[in-house]
Amino acid sequence: MQNQAIDVGITCNFNALQTTAASNDVPWSGVVLTGTPTLADCYVNIERELYNLPNDSKSYPNMMWAHQIIEFVSPFTGKFSRFSIPRAGLLLRVILITLDAASGAAVENTDILNLAYIYGSNETPISRPGWALNMEFLQDYNRMPPKGVVVLDFYKFGDNGLKLVKSTEDLANLRVETTFSSTATGSQRIILDRLIPVSAR
C-alpha cells in the first residue's frame, strides 16, 4: 500500500507453434512442417486494476503479513531429491511437481515412493508413502492429484488447522526429501505457499 511505483514493464515470450522434434513446450510437435509458424495473429491483453484505500484506517487489511507464493527448480539424481527450504516466514504449503529428465514429462504418481518433511538433525514430523499422499490429497481436495504432484498442506493435514504450520525462522536445516522407484534423474518444481512478516523500513 506504500508502493509509489506506477510503471510496470512486461515481456511476453511465445513458444513455437509447431516443430519437427517432439517437445512438451510446443502445441504441435513431432510433425512435418508444411509452412512457416507465425505468431502474427497472437495477442495479449494486459489489464491493470487500481484500488482506493479506505478512508478509515480501521478498515485496512492486516498489514503485518504478506502472502507469498514462490517457485524453485531443483534437479536430482540417484532416485532421490532433497530441497532445503529457505528460512522465511510461516510455511503453509509445499507443492512438488516432479519431471523426468529424459522426457521432461511429469512422472507417474506411483513412482513416488516416499516424501519426508525434516528439520534439525533428523526430526521428521511427516514421512508418507506415495499412496498415502494421494489419499490425503483426495481427502483435502476431493479429487486425485495431478500427475507427478505431491502436496504437504500444513493447514489441512489431519483436519487440524494450522497444527503443523511453523515458523521457518525457528527451524534449522528444514528440508523435504523425495524418493522414487524408477525415476533416476529429473527435476522438481517446488512451490512454497507462505506468510512473510512485513517490517517497517
Q: Locate 191 and state its grid cell.
A: 512451490
Going residue by residue through the chain (201 aa), what tens digit of pLDDT does each one get? 455 555 666 777 777 777 777 777 777 777 776 666 666 666 676 766 666 777 887 877 777 888 899 999 999 999 999 999 998 888 999 999 999 888 788 898 889 999 999 998 888 888 999 888 888 888 888 899 999 999 988 877 655 556 667 788 888 899 999 999 999 999 999 999 999 888 755
Q: Locate 127 and state its grid cell.
A: 514421512
Q: Would residue 148 count as lying in a domain?
A: yes
Q: Please, is 17 exposed, middle or buried when counting C-beta atoms within 10 Å of its C-beta (0-12, 13-18, 19+)?
A: middle
Q: Locate 37 and state its grid cell.
A: 509458424
Q: Would residue 89 count as lying in a domain?
A: yes
Q: Would residue 162 count as lying in a domain?
A: yes
Q: Would residue 21 count as lying in a domain?
A: no
* Grid-cell match 506506477, residue found: 6
Domains held by the chain: number: 1
Q: Would residue 59 count as lying in a domain?
A: no
pTM of the model as a whole: 0.69
CATH code, domain carrying 193: 2.60.120.20
What whole-number distance in Å separates Cα of residue 135 and Cα of residue 143? 9
Domain coverage including residue 69? 64-197
Q: Would residue 57 count as lying in a domain?
A: no
Q: In the prediction, which pLDDT does 105 show?
A: 85
